[in-house]
C-alpha cells in the first residue's frame, strides 16, 4: 500500500526533508509493505487547500502549520501568541513533546475536524524581515505585515500597530518585491531558501515566537489502521522528534551564515536587546486576553494549562 504525505515546503526545506526521512524509515520497518509518497508544496493548491485534502482523506498524512487552520480550529491559534514559549528552542521542543494541553486537549479539538496531530515540532525561532529595520514597536506603524490565515496572527501584529494581511507563501516573494506586503516572519532557513532576503533589506532577530509544525494524519484513516502499523507510525514519529530538531538547527544556523555572507543581496541583521524585546512583549501580552475572550471556545483553558506547563518547564 501507498500513503500520500503532503508538506507545505520544498525539497531541501525542513518539512519535505522530514517527509522523505519518514518515508524511508517506514518502508524499512515494514519491509517495503508500505510505501510513502512525499509531496512538495505547490502541486496540490495552497496551504489551506492542503488542510482540506487531509480532512477529506484525499491524503493520509500531512505536515501542517496551525496558522492555516486558524479559521476552523480556534484553539490551535494559540501558537500565534508572541513571547509564550521559551526563546531557547530545546526547551520549547521539550514542552511540545510533553505538554498535555497540546498532545491531549488541543489534539481532541483538531480531531473534531478529522485532523489528528501526532506530534508538534519547532522549525526554529522566527525572525522579522522588512525594509524599515524593526527595532521597536513603532517601526511596525502601518507596516503591511504578511501573516498566515489566522485571525490571531493578525491581532498579534495589530497590537504593534501594523496592518497585517493574510497571504499564501507562494505569493510572498512577489508581494514583498512589489510592496503589496512589506514585512514577514519566518524561520531563518526559510527566509534564505525562499529568497526573501533578495527583496528585504533587514532581518530582526526578535525571538518573538517559534515556528511550530504538526505531523498530522486523517483521523478516520489513522484510527482504522491495524495495530501493528499504528505502532510503527507512532514510534517513527516519536523517534523523529530529535531528528527534526537537529535538522532545523543545522539548516537555520548554516543559512544564517549564508545571509550574512551574501554580498549580492546584503542584509542588515538587527539583534534585539533584552530591553528592546521587552517593549514588544509588553504590547504582546494583552493579546492573550483577546485569545481567551474572542477566539477560544473554552475560555482559554488550553492556553492556561499550557502556560502552567511552560512555567514548570522553565
**How far apart are the C-alpha atoms of 87 and 196, rounded to whole Å?**
23
Asked if 233 contacts 217 with a C-beta cutoff of 8 angstroms, the reply is yes
How many residues make contact with ligand 6CS (CB under 6 A)? 11
3-class secondary structure, 127 = strand
Shortest Cβ distance from residue 9 to ligand 6CS (Å)? 5
Say how far residue 314 (Cα) sits from the centre of its chain: 22
Q: Is 47 an interacting residue with respect to ligand 6CS (CB under 6 A)?
A: yes
Q: Is 187 an interacting residue with respect to ligand 6CS (CB under 6 A)?
A: yes
Cβ distance to ligand 6CS smaller for residue 8 or 182: 8
**Cα dihedral across residues 94, 100, 103, 105: positive or negative:** negative
**How far apart are the C-alpha atoms of 100 and 131, rounded to whole Å?**
40
Cβ distance to ligand 6CS smaller for residue 9 or 75: 9
Cα R_g (the chain), whole angstroms: 19
Cβ distance to ligand 6CS smaller for residue 101 or 153: 153
DSSP annotation string for 137-193: GGGGTT--EEE-S-HHHHHHHHTTT---EE--GGGHHHHHHHTSS-EEEEEHHHHHH
**How far apart are the C-alpha atoms of 127 and 209, rounded to whole Å?**
8
Q: Is 190 an interacting residue with respect to ligand 6CS (CB under 6 A)?
A: yes
Residues 91-130 that bind ligand 6CS (CB under 6 A): 123
Shortest Cβ distance from residue 255 to ligand 6CS (Å)? 12
Cβ distance to ligand 6CS smaller for residue 65 or 77: 65
- The residue range among 25-33, 183-191, 261-269, 285-293 that interacts with ligand 6CS, by the rule CB under 6 A, is 183-191
Query: Contacting ligand 6CS (CB under 6 A), which of 6, 9, 25, 153?
Result: 9
Q: Is 50 an interacting residue with respect to ligand 6CS (CB under 6 A)?
A: no
Asked if 66 contacts 212 with a C-beta cutoff of 8 angstroms, the reply is yes
Asked if 36 contacts 23 with a C-beta cutoff of 8 angstroms, the reply is yes
Q: Is 65 an interacting residue with respect to ligand 6CS (CB under 6 A)?
A: yes
Residues 72-91 that bind ligand 6CS (CB under 6 A): none
Dig out the grid coordinates for 174 from the structure. Answer: 512577489
Q: Is 193 an interacting residue with respect to ligand 6CS (CB under 6 A)?
A: no
Shortest Cβ distance from residue 82 to ligand 6CS (Å)? 16
- The residue range among 26-34, 132-140, 186-194, 257-265 that interacts with ligand 6CS, by the rule CB under 6 A, is 186-194
Query: Contacting ligand 6CS (CB under 6 A), which of 77, 89, 93, 148?
Result: 148
Q: Is 169 an interacting residue with respect to ligand 6CS (CB under 6 A)?
A: yes
Shortest Cβ distance from residue 46 to ligand 6CS (Å)? 9
CA distances (Å), 236 to each of 29, 224, 231, in order?
Answer: 9, 18, 8
Shortest Cβ distance from residue 182 to ligand 6CS (Å)? 15
CA atoms lying within 13 Å on the CB side of residue 238: 8
3-class secondary structure, 312 = helix
Cβ distance to ligand 6CS smaller for residue 18 or 190: 190
Shortest Cβ distance from residue 73 to ligand 6CS (Å)? 17
Asked if 147 contacts 153 with a C-beta cutoff of 8 angstroms, the reply is yes
Q: Is 16 an interacting residue with respect to ligand 6CS (CB under 6 A)?
A: no
Asked if 235 contacts 227 with a C-beta cutoff of 8 angstroms, the reply is no
Shortest Cβ distance from residue 67 to ligand 6CS (Å)? 7
Footprint of ligand 6CS on this chain (CB under 6 A)?
Answer: 8-9, 47, 65, 123, 148, 169, 186-187, 190, 211
Amino acid at each position: 500500500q501507498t500513503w500520500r504525505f503532503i508538506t507545505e515546503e520544498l525539497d531541501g526545506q525542513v518539512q519535505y526533508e522530514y517527509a522523505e526521512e519518514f518515508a524511508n524509515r517506514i518502508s524499512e520497518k515494514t519491509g517495503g509493505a508500505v510505501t510513502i509518497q512525499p509531496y512538495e508544496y505547490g502541486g496540490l493548491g495552497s496551504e489551506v487547500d492542503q488542510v482540506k485534502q487531509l480532512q477529506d482523506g484525499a491524503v493520509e498524512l500531512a505536515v501542517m502549520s496551525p496558522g492555516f487552520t486558524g479559521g476552523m480550529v480556534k484553539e490551535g491559534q494559540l501558537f500565534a501568541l508572541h513571547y509564550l514559549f521559551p526563546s531557547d528552542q530545546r526547551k520549547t521542543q521539550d514542552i511540545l513533546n510533553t505538554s498535555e494541553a497540546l498532545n491531549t486537549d488541543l489534539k481532541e479539538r483538531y480531531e473534531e475536524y478529522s485532523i489528528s496531530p501526532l506530534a508538534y515540532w519547532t522549525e526554529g525561532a522566527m525572525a522579522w524581515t522588512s525594509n524599515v529595520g524593526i527595532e521597536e514597536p513603532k517601526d511596525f506603524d502601518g507596516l503591511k505585515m504578511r501573516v498566515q490565515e489566522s485571525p490571531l496572527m493578525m491581532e498579534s501584529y495589530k497590537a504593534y500597530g501594523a496592518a497585517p494581511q493574510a497571504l499564501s507563501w507562494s505569493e510572498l516573494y512577489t508581494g514583498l518585491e512589489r510592496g503589496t506586503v512589506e514585512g514577514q516572519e519566518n524561520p531563518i532557513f526559510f527566509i534564505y531558501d525562499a529568497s526573501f532576503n533578495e527583496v528585504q533589506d533587514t532581518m530582526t532577530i526578535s525571538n518573538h515566537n517559534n515556528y511550530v509544525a504538526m505531523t498530522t494524519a486523517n483521523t478516520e484513516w489513522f484510527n482504522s489502521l491495524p495495530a501493528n502499523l499504528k505502532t510503527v507510525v507512532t514510534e517513527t514519529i516519536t523517534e523523529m522528534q530529535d531528528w527534526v530538531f537537529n535538522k532545523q538547527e543545522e539548516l537555520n544556523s548554516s543559512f544564517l551564515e549564508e545571509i550574512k555572507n551574501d554580498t549580492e543581496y546584503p542584509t542588515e541583521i538587527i539583534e534585539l536587546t533584552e530591553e528592546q524585546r521587552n517593549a514588544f512583549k509588553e504590547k504582546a501580552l494583552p493579546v492573550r486576553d483577546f485569545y481567551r475572550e474572542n477566539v477560544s471556545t473554552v475560555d482559554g483553558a488550553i492556553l492556561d494549562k499550557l502556560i502552567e506547563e511552560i512555567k514548570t518547564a522553565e
